[in-house]
Structure 1
């Protein structure tokens, strides 16, 4: 069965005040992420689904867009207004969007 791709938006078009859900693993998050994003690794999403707000559009982010597409599809089926960030953090970085890291090093996408 072929799933149609979920709704997607270019990294450059994500609003500055958007709710960004980062579904990457901890080491990826620590190296560099969107300031103010919520970090819920894909593997823990079902246990932490209550942390995803229903009252705003959710922009789902991973490294290149594969994991986030799966999460966007799932959230959409469950009634969330979810949209995949096309190209993920690599596209975000390429678009020159601001990033922060949890380490002493400059933010980077790993």
Structure 2
């Protein structure tokens, strides 16, 4: 599917202070996301690349497919990026904290 190996990391291994980029759509983000993550839907990443921090980016989506595409793009641009294997489902399964946009119980949509 991908032309080169995409760097990945297990959700449980992501450092608490990591720079996170969530590339899911707005409704997915609203349902549940990682507090402090930067939200840029996949279709806007190229146009908004200047908003990304210079630190290593830990990129996530729902299961890891969209984020793997973004990581592949970012690495090709010379950025340090890693895909969170299993995405938000793996994050939730690992018991990592999540919040919702409206304060209700967060869930992965």
**So what's the TM-score if we normalise by structure 1?**
0.95
2:39: which partner in 1? 39
Contact 1:59 1:85 (C-alpha < 8 Å) held by counterparts: yes
Is 2:28 the counterpart of 1:28? yes
**So what's the TM-score if we normalise by structure 2?**
0.96
Over aligned residues, Cα RMSD in angstroms?
1.2
**Which stretches of structure 1, 4 residues or more, deviate above 6 A after TM superposition?**
none
CA shift, 1:2, in A, is 5.3
Listed one character per residue, the Cα deviations across residues 20-61 of structure 1 (whole Å, up to 9, x for unaligned) are: 00000000000000110000000111111101112x110000
**Structure 1 unmatched ranges of 5 or more:** none
Contact 1:11 1:91 (C-alpha < 8 Å) held by counterparts: yes
**Structure 2 unmatched ranges of 5 or more:** none
